Structure 1
Amino acid sequence: MFAPPDCWVWDFWFADDGERHHLFFLYASRALHDPEDRHYRASIGHAVSTDLVEWTRVPDALVRADAPAFDDLATWTGSVVRHPDGTWFLFYTGSTRAPGGRNVQRIGYATSTDLTTWHKAGPGPVLSADPTLYETLDTGQWHDEAFRDPWVFPDPDGDGWHMLITARATTGPAFERGVVGHAVSADLRTWELRPPLSAPAAHGFGQLEVTQTEVVDGKPLLLFSCLAEHASDSRRATGTRGGIWAAPAGSLLGPFDVGAARQVTDDRYYSGKLVRRRDGSWALMGFHHTGPDGAFTGGISDPMPVSWDGHRLTVEGPAAEGPSVDALPAAVG
């Protein structure tokens, strides 16, 4: 478990340089006292490991910018990929305050030659919500302008790059508008926003956080997280506390059957990420969200082996230091 004693740690993502796993994570000082305040004090930390279990913290990756800037409130969740020329790209969410204290989220990136020293591109973001495609703050339907968590990966056919985005549709009930936003790029530097890869429909999710798409056991899937407080009444009526979810996918680019998503963990774990180990097997990691007393916990789990049958992502063994997820109920959707 990765849990520095002086800070809360939550959302995270990985890069693999062939010798070490690099963990990038959101953190904020425990001197804030209230963990709910962590979101607006978030920086992006960095740690390294050879086994995904024992981690060594190294210098931070990114911090918020001076105002005015699209990331002058906080730097939030992202992903890291490597350009064919060897340059590493860290895509991240920049948050800034809007009138009334609510926040607007946009997407930027930084580059590095060694995964250690990062330089922001800018000064502006590379992507923001287009109101013709995605819900924006002025609609009054949500507590923020949800446009974040860029998950970037190469096109399966070798034609450029794709980005999945936590976003919301422009129509539908407020707690069913969560969609998989989409953008494309030829060079990682210039991006074109496109319509979402999923429909809001009646799936019951107000937002699909920290999306990830992978092929596990020969079958594609969409991984995302959603808490009960951001789900529809029908979802909450099942008794779900929310957590990490997995949905069937036709390919890495969909279609994504969000309505058929099944719960992988409850809210003891959140912001799940699938990571490939050195032996080629897949494991799930999540941050510890809710403790036995119902309070926020923080800290990132050890890897848990998983299997995917095309319908359900099964956690084969719990993290050594965390509560078991083997006994979780079946799908609640």
Structure 2
Amino acid sequence: MKEFFYRPENAWVGDVIPYYEDQEFKLFYLHGWRENYREGLDNGWHLITTNDFCNYREYGAINVLGGTGHVIKVGLIYHLFYCIFPEGKQLVCHAIGTDLMNWTPIPEDTFSADNEIYEMSDWRDPFVFWNEEDGQYWMLLAAMAKGPSNRKGCVALLTSPDLRKWSYREPLYAPNIHVGAHECPEMFRMGEWWYLVYSNYTDRFATFYRMSRSANGPWITPKFDTFDGRAYYAAKSASDGQKRYLFGWNPTKNDDLFGWNPPKYVGKDYDTWDWGGNLVVHEIIQRPDGTLAVKVPDSVNKAFAVEQPLHLEWITGTWTSSSLEYACESPYAFAASLSQEDLPDRCKVSMEIRFSEHTQGTGIMLRAGRGLDFAYYIALEPQRNRVTFRGPIMQSEDGGKTFPYEVELERPIELLPDQDYKLQIFIDGSICEIYVNGEVAMSARMYDIERGKLGLFVSQGNAQFKQVKVETIRG
């Protein structure tokens, strides 16, 4: 069965370069063949288009080879900026075209970080836009600023009047936080705020954002400064003029690309994340205070609309129920219920959860067995203001002895008692996309358990579960 979250046949989606035109998103992306590559296959940038994030049209490879970059149109001419890596160097390149598939490189426009401000080691992922306030083009780059420590990761800034001759400027953002370069940088404006987005793989592994009243900064770090967790990376955004969407990838755990898999583990859930995976799109929401949140795109949510039978039975604790609503009071213990039916391989699970004060945890189990240990747990943890994802090894003695972390994945969210929290979980094979209250997203993978039931649980507290539904795609 073809995956709902886009992935090319026998390959994977890497960094996405989104562009919007003619009422559809043109999504260039780095095509990752991995072990499936063989002589004669097209590499580099490929192009797909969509207007609903559910259906994609494939156009194949464009005729330029290179790493992540950006596309901008000036008049009737498209300009493509990208990076190449000859003999270990990192160079920025420029090509032009009259359509989105055929490009003419301009070799004399290629340049490196050969200046007094930036290191030569990192110089990639160009993003270009016309800055009306400054009256010239700005280029942002993933770079390393020269300095006394290794914390040199920054967003480099260059300016140009014509997209061909670029002047080096001081870094747009150089906080000395990350040892690695600020990858896939971009800027956009919403209302009175400017936003700077970048991804990084040192200190924390995520796509971050900063905000400012000016394109020149200073750049404020919001309380919750990421769009998703560890299993979502290299995300860049584009707007259709009404809404703005974020395009990133949920990585696989198939190939041990970096050689860090635990040698004795026979499954996949606790293997290391690969580079590239499936395309995942979040819609960006701007709050009244200017901070950003993400939600599932409406078209993706509406695609899952065929309600499936659901009958829950009580496994532990005392439960009460009415139509689509379930409640449990268990202030001193763990209590759980399970569906009689197995979850479909592709589905949406949705509900609203309300918990009382002092509740330690509540949430759902995916693909659960009757023993309640062989399951994937998605938990709201009010005492720590977070939503977490735990797999089956965390419920076992082996996990307790060997797994070096408390949880696999977590996302911060303010959780208050006696309020409704809406959960939407989209399952597509091993892919799990979790949204809470239309503001928090958490991407995950589920490999080792392929079938099982839906469960509800409350740990040392009281909880109500309303409008509990399992839905599949029409047709």
> Normalising by structure 2, what TM-score?
0.54
Aligned match for 1:323, one of 433, 436, 443: 433
Identify if the C-alpha distance between structure 1 residues 117 and 50 changes in structure 2 by more than 3 Å, giving closer, same or farther.
same
Identify if the C-alpha distance between structure 1 residues 308 and 147 changes in structure 2 by more than 3 Å, giving closer, same or farther.
farther
Q: What is the aligned partner in structure 1 of residue 78 from structure 2?
A: 88
Aligned match for 2:135, one of 139, 156, 159: 159
CA contact (8 A) 2:69 2:80 kept: yes
Count of aligned pairs: 283
Identify if the C-alpha distance between structure 1 residues 87 and 63 changes in structure 2 by more than 3 Å, giving closer, same or farther.
closer
CA contact (8 A) 1:307 1:316 kept: no
Paired with 1:26 and 1:166, the residues of 2 have a C-alpha distance of 17
CA contact (8 A) 1:105 1:146 kept: yes
Instruction: Give 1:148 deviation, angstroms.
Output: 0.6
Identify if the C-alpha distance between structure 1 residues 193 and 250 changes in structure 2 by more than 3 Å, giving closer, same or farther.
same
Paired with 2:52 and 2:228, the residues of 1 have a C-alpha distance of 23
Paired with 2:189 and 2:287, the residues of 1 have a C-alpha distance of 9
- CA deviation string 1:218-242 (max 9, x = no partner): 4211111112xx22xxxxxxxx5x2
Aligned match for 1:3, one of 3, 7, 27: 7
Q: What is the aligned partner in structure 1 of residue 348 from structure 2?
A: none
More strand by share: 2
Instruction: Give 1:152 deviation, angstroms.
Output: 0.3
CA contact (8 A) 1:155 1:162 kept: yes
Paired with 1:200 and 1:169, the residues of 2 have a C-alpha distance of 10
Instruction: Give 1:2 deviation, angstroms.
Output: 2.1
Q: What is the aligned partner in structure 2 of residue 298 from structure 1?
A: 277
Q: What is the aligned partner in structure 2 of residue 248 from structure 1?
A: 211
1:60 maps onto 2:34 in alignment: no
5 Å-filtered alignment, 1:1-333, equals 1-32=5-36, 43-64=44-65, 75-84=66-75, 86-97=76-87, 103-122=88-107, 124-136=108-120, 145-157=121-133, 159-174=135-150, 176-201=151-176, 203-204=177-178, 206-227=180-201, 230-231=202-203, 240=204, 242-257=205-220, 262-277=225-240, 280-289=242-251, 292-293=269-270, 294-296=272-274, 298-308=277-287, 312-317=291-296, 320=426, 322-324=432-434, 326=436
CA contact (8 A) 2:222 2:291 kept: no
Question: What amino acid maps onto 2:31 in structure 1?
Answer: Y
User: Which has the higher Rg, Structure 1 or Structure 2?
Assistant: 2
Identify if the C-alpha distance between structure 1 residues 328 and 18 changes in structure 2 by more than 3 Å, giving closer, same or farther.
closer
Identify if the C-alpha distance between structure 1 residues 105 and 261 changes in structure 2 by more than 3 Å, giving closer, same or farther.
farther
Q: What is the aligned partner in structure 2 of residue 140 from structure 1?
A: none
Question: What amino acid maps onto 1:206 in structure 2?
Answer: G
Please give the secondary structure, in 2, of the residue aligned with 1:302: strand
Q: What is the aligned partner in structure 2 of residue 236 from structure 1?
A: none
CA contact (8 A) 1:150 1:164 kept: yes
Please give the secondary structure, in 1, of the residue aligned with 2:226: strand
Question: What amino acid maps onto 2:433 in structure 1?
Answer: P
Question: What amino acid maps onto 1:96 in structure 2?
Answer: P
Question: What amino acid maps onto 1:26 in structure 2?
Answer: L
- CA deviation string 1:229-262 (max 9, x = no partner): x22xxxxxxxx5x211111223234333469781
Question: What amino acid maps onto 1:177 in structure 2?
Answer: K
Paired with 1:316 and 1:288, the residues of 2 have a C-alpha distance of 16
Paired with 1:80 and 1:250, the residues of 2 have a C-alpha distance of 26
Instruction: Give 1:158 deviation, angstroms.
Output: 6.9
Instruction: Give 1:276 deviation, angstroms.
Output: 1.3
Aligned residues: CA RMSD: 2.7
Paired with 1:312 and 1:213, the residues of 2 have a C-alpha distance of 15
Gaps of 5+ in 1: 34-40, 65-74, 98-102, 137-144, 232-239
CA contact (8 A) 2:43 2:61 kept: no
CA contact (8 A) 2:197 2:208 kept: yes
Greater mean deviation of Cα atoms: 294-303 or 104-113: 294-303
Question: What amino acid maps onto 2:273 in structure 1?
Answer: A
Instruction: Give 1:325 deviation, angstroms.
Output: 5.1
Instruction: Give 1:275 deviation, angstroms.
Output: 1.9
Paired with 1:223 and 1:308, the residues of 2 have a C-alpha distance of 17
Gaps of 5+ in 2: 254-268, 301-425, 443-475
Please give the secondary structure, in 2, of the residue aligned with 1:135: strand
Please give the secondary structure, in 2, of the residue aligned with 1:197: strand
Question: What amino acid maps onto 1:288 in structure 2?
Answer: N
Q: What is the aligned partner in structure 2 of residue 142 from structure 1?
A: none
Greater mean deviation of Cα atoms: 269-278 or 294-303: 294-303
